[in-house]
Amino acid sequence: MTVLALKPLSEADVFQEDFAANAAHLPGAGQEWLDRKRAAALQAFARTGMPTRRVEAWKYTDLAAALESPLEPAARFPGAVREAGAFAGVAGTRLTLVSGFLHAVGDREEDIDIVDLAAIGTKVPDWVKDHLGLLAAGPDQPLGAASLALMRGGVALRVRASNAALHLNFVNPAGRHDVVIHSRILIVVEEGASLRLLESHSGEGNDQSLTNLGIEINLRPGAKLEHVRLQSESQTALHVTSIGASLERDAGYRALYAGLGAKLSRLDVIVQLRGPGAEANLHNVSAPSSGISDVTTVMDHASPHTTSRQLFKSVVGGHGRSVSQGRVVVREGAVKSDSHQLFKALLLSPRAEADAKPELEIFADDVICGHGTAIGALDADALFYLRARGIPEAEAKGLLIRAFLEDAIGDFVDPVTHDAIWRRLDAALTAMGQEVK
Amino acid sequence: MLEIDDLHVTVDGRDILKGITLSIPAGEVHAVMGPNGSGKSTLSYTLAGREGYAITRGRILYQGEDLTQLAPEERATKGIFLALQYPVEIPGVVTLTFLKTALNAQRRARGESELDAMRVLKLVREKAKALKIPEEMLKRPLNAGFSGGEKKRMEILQMALFEPKLAILDETDSGLDIDALKLVADGVNALRAPSRAMLVITHYQRLLDYIVPDRVHVLTNGRIAKSGAADLALELEAHGYENV
């Protein structure tokens, strides 16, 4: 259920102002197909406006209140960027996006078509025209809609082969002003093709810039996507990513999201299971010790014989807050839907907070839908057991915390990616005062 | 080895142990028997140093040193081992990794050199074989999904690996069928040594057929009501705790 709240008129909306002033200068402006999509997206955004806690899906994460200063749209970064990203050691085509603009392409594999959305001209491939804006642009993802309406940069990618590998390395350099980065990633994985996508976000400086990223994932029949996403922006930044994924018959989407940076991190995911045999498996880990790490999903079983699994784990310390919201919808006729979601949070300090809200909306018979939530402190029995075996308290705690998170990471990724994620996780846990060795 | 003198312990404000005096010399195995709620597990947790078990009077001397202020890990390092009645399942920690971490933590604390993974594996394999613990079990998360018998064998494996000076076995027989019981008892008997003391806590006499104690103490209502030789256990089996 989407609840819309009216914004007071006096609170002028920076996004709408931006559109009013700059629509004519946005990439691809003047092309009817894109102008139309941008205008529709702006309208979708306007139904909610900048989300406050009065918007049901944002009740735990007040983005409007977190925006303290006026934000200018980000401009293309003129300098050189050395940041290789968290997954530098992993093979595959490497795209570096700086402030949301495509900056460099490295180790290019021929089996991935790449279109720079900042340089979109009159010659646009049909697959871009056909797909752009179908997902992550509706009123149920208002920030996703804004990222399309105000899109300055990003890339469109099409995969036609098996075992393609791609690294999206997002870098936000320190700037003099707080900026907002509206960018889009469009991914089309053609029938029977498969892609391994590594996405990393890093930032420097201590500004309060907002990344507003919209990701569209189109998986054609039998297509597979394995998506590992590591968000480790600077601790002052704001980060919102809206993902829309459409899975056709027998398509598979496996994702591991790690939300480790930013003072406010919101990952907003809508997965549509649109054909029999479609299967989505989402894992999320977070370790906030000061900010908010929010993952909110809608798993839409729109076809019979579809499967979804969700496992979200967060370790919360200091005065950090984790939010896990998951709505599973089984539509009329979507028999033999099989869905499970489990949200677990470990609270390590008295001021830590975890909000978990699983929801089920079932309109079909003969389905399996399970959900569970567990929020608590470290297990005292387990801690005593380890200490009674000679393991010092701090090390024992670290072992248990690591085990708790590893459960969601473990076999999900290859060893190199695994280590890359753990390097960032270890740093986040150390910042929390938990030594994990 | 262990001298318990007038030990009083409260848990959550309730008096559980009400003046226990007990002495176990090196090389001896003592059994503490008692009905449910007599304070058997409280005694074992107190000796191991679990939080929440407050000593209100008396003291515990281990090798002449007062234990009361020591953390559980410090006691373990000094050679005290508690085999739990209900070993904890720890999903996400591989058994072998746990064994290596614990062994090396103890060695480090004693100023000994740490053992590398190969050495630990060799050592563990050797001990596991005698307890019929398959190697596959060592690769699984600690105790997760293990049967009751497997969990108890894992406790004895740890005891064999850490080579404690004082071993406390808390109802190690509970939940075991006769074959598993024999296997565990053999494991314990193999560790009997002149330099080692053992405290075997049990509800039933059955275990003591296999691990024959030097002394038997009967614990009722937080006190040692009676002490005697091994045949005291048989007497209890015949007449119950009520006539003690």
Nearest CA in chain A to B44: A388
Query: How distant is the alpha carbon of residue B18 from its chain centre?
Result: 21
pLDDT per position as a tens digit, B132-152: 899 999 999 999 999 888 999
Which residues of chain A make contact with B110, given a CB cutoff of 8 A? Answer: none
Candidate from A12-16, A97-101, A423-427, B210-214 with smallest mean pLDDT: A12-16
Which residues of chain A make contact with B157, given a CB cutoff of 8 A? Answer: none
Measured between CA atoms, how close is A378 to chain B, in angstroms? Answer: 12
pLDDT per position as a tens digit, A86-126: 888 788 899 999 999 999 898 888 889 999 999 998 889 99
- CA–CA distance, B233 with B31 (Å, rounded to integer): 9
Which of the two residues, A66 and A333, has the higher pLDDT score?
Answer: A333
For chain B, say whether A386 makes contact (Cβ under 8 Å): yes
In this complex, do B76 and A390 lie within 8 Å of one another by their Cβ atoms? Answer: yes
- CA–CA distance, B131 with B174 (Å, rounded to integer): 18
In this complex, do A387 and B73 lie within 8 Å of one another by their Cβ atoms? Answer: yes
Which residues of chain A make contact with B101, given a CB cutoff of 8 A? Answer: 391, 395, 399
Average confidence score pLDDT of chain B: 92
The pLDDT of B197-225, averaged and rounded, is 91
Q: Which pLDDT value is given to residue A435?
A: 57
Question: Structure tokens of A31?
Answer: 């092309």
Nearest to B73 among A392, A399, A406 (CB): A392
Nearest to B90 among A382, A388, A395 (CB): A382
- CA–CA distance, A116 with A102 (Å, rounded to integer): 7
For chain B, say whether A360 makes contact (Cβ under 8 Å): no
Nearest to A399 among B87, B93, B109 (CB): B93
- CA–CA distance, A157 with A275 (Å, rounded to integer): 22
- CA–CA distance, A272 with A248 (Å, rounded to integer): 9
ipTM of the complex: 0.95
Give the angle subtended at the CA of B9 by the CAs of A350 and B18, to the nearest 5°. 155
Q: Has residue A239 got a pLDDT over 90?
A: yes
In this complex, do A393 and B71 lie within 8 Å of one another by their Cβ atoms? Answer: yes
> Residue B104, CB half-sphere, CA atoms under 13 Å: how many?
16
pLDDT per position as a tens digit, B166-204: 999 999 888 888 888 888 899 889 999 999 999 999 988
For chain B, say whether A383 makes contact (Cβ under 8 Å): no
In this complex, do B102 and A400 lie within 8 Å of one another by their Cβ atoms? Answer: no
The pLDDT of B74-78, averaged and rounded, is 97
- CA–CA distance, A270 with A194 (Å, rounded to integer): 20
Residues in chain B: 244
Q: Which pLDDT value is given to residue A136?
A: 96
Contact at 8 Å (CB) between B52 and B11? Answer: yes
Q: Has residue A9 got a pLDDT over 80?
A: no
Question: Percentage of chain A surpassing pLDDT 90?
Answer: 76
> Residue A213, CB half-sphere, CA atoms under 13 Å: how many?
31
Measured between CA atoms, how close is A416 to chain B, in angstroms? Answer: 19
Q: Has residue A437 got a pLDDT over 60?
A: no
Homologous superfamily of the B2-239 domain (CATH): P-loop containing nucleotide triphosphate hydrolases (3.40.50.300)
- CA–CA distance, A396 with B88 (Å, rounded to integer): 14
| Strand order across the A164-172 sheet | A101-106, A93-98, A164-172, A194-203, A224-232, A252-259, A279-286, A307-316, A338-347, A368-376
pLDDT per position as a tens digit, A300-326: 999 999 999 999 999 999 999 999 999
- CA–CA distance, B239 with B244 (Å, rounded to integer): 9
For chain A, say whether B109 makes contact (Cβ under 8 Å): yes
What are the extents of the domains in chain B? 2-239
Nearest to B90 among A387, A393, A403 (CB): A403
The pLDDT of A220-245, averaged and rounded, is 96
Q: Which pLDDT value is given to residue A436?
A: 57
The pLDDT of B110-134, averaged and rounded, is 93
For chain A, say whether B114 makes contact (Cβ under 8 Å): no
Which of the two residues, A71 and A33, has the higher pLDDT score?
Answer: A33
For chain A, say whether B42 makes contact (Cβ under 8 Å): no
Q: Which of B42, B67, B86, B88 to mutate to test the interface with A (most CBs of A within 10 A)?
A: B88
Measured between CA atoms, how close is A394 to chain B, in angstroms? Answer: 11
**CA proximity to A310, closest of A321, A320, A300, A302:** A300
For residue B135, the tally of other CB atoms under 10 A from its CB is: 12
In sequence order, the β-bridge partners of residue B81 are: B167
Average confidence score pLDDT of chain A: 92
**CA proximity to A167, closest of A223, A85, A241, A231:** A85
Hey, what amino acid is at A26? L
The pLDDT of A372-401, averaged and rounded, is 95
- CA–CA distance, A298 with A60 (Å, rounded to integer): 16
In this complex, do A390 and B73 lie within 8 Å of one another by their Cβ atoms? Answer: yes
DSSP code of A274? -
Q: How far apart are the first and last CA of chain B?
A: 27
Nearest CA in chain B to A404: B92
CA A247 to each of CA A113, A133, A275, A300, B25: distance values in angstroms, whole numbers, following the listed order: 20, 16, 7, 10, 71
Q: Which pLDDT value is given to residue A310?
A: 97
Give the angle subtended at the CA of A202 by the CAs of A79 and A28, to the nearest 5°. 60
For residue A189, the tally of other CB atoms under 10 A from its CB is: 26
Q: Which pLDDT value is given to residue A312?
A: 97
What are the extents of the domains in chain A? 14-377
- CA–CA distance, B219 with B227 (Å, rounded to integer): 9
Query: How distant is the alpha carbon of residue A88 from its chain centre?
Result: 20
pLDDT per position as a tens digit, A134-165: 999 999 999 999 999 999 999 999 999 999 99
Q: Which pLDDT value is given to residue A8?
A: 43
Question: Structure tokens of B175?
Answer: 């939940």
Helix (H) or strand (E) holding A252: strand A252-259
φ, ψ (nearest 5 deg) of residue B137: -65, -30
Measured between CA atoms, how close is A158 to chain B, in angstroms? Answer: 37
Most distant CA atoms of chain B, gap in Å: 55
Contact at 8 Å (CB) between A175 and A143? Answer: no
Which residues of chain B make contact with A400, given a CB cutoff of 8 A? Answer: 90, 93
For chain A, say whether B148 makes contact (Cβ under 8 Å): no
Nearest CA in chain A to B82: A388
Q: Has residue A413 got a pLDDT over 60?
A: yes
Which residues of chain B make contact with A315, given a CB cutoff of 8 A? Answer: none
Contact at 8 Å (CB) between A317 and A285? Answer: no
3-state secondary structure chain B: CEEEEEEEEEECCEEEEEEEEEEECCCCEEEEECCCCCCHHHHHHHHHCCCCEEEEEEEEEECCEECCCCCHHHHHHCCEEEECCCCCCEEEEEHHHHHHHHHHHHHHHCCCCCCCHHHHHHHHHHHHHHCCCCHHHHCCEECCCCCHHHHHHHHHHHHHHHCCCEEEEECCCCCCCHHHHHHHHHHHHHCCCCCCEEEEEECCCHHHHHCCCCEEEEEECCEEEEEECCHHHHHHHHHCCCCC
**CA proximity to A290, closest of A252, A236, A214, A212:** A236
For chain A, say whether B112 makes contact (Cβ under 8 Å): no
Question: Structure tokens of B186?
Answer: 């053999």
Q: Which of B98, B99, B110 to mutate to test the interface with A (most CBs of A within 10 A)?
A: B98
For chain A, say whether B165 makes contact (Cβ under 8 Å): no
For chain B, say whether A400 makes contact (Cβ under 8 Å): yes
Contact at 8 Å (CB) between A279 and A306? Answer: yes
For B113, counting Cβ atoms within 10 Å of its Cβ (0-12 exposed, 13-18 middle, 19+ buried), the class is: exposed
The pLDDT of A218-247, averaged and rounded, is 96
For A426, counting Cβ atoms within 10 Å of its Cβ (0-12 exposed, 13-18 middle, 19+ buried), the class is: middle
Nearest CA in chain B to A409: B92
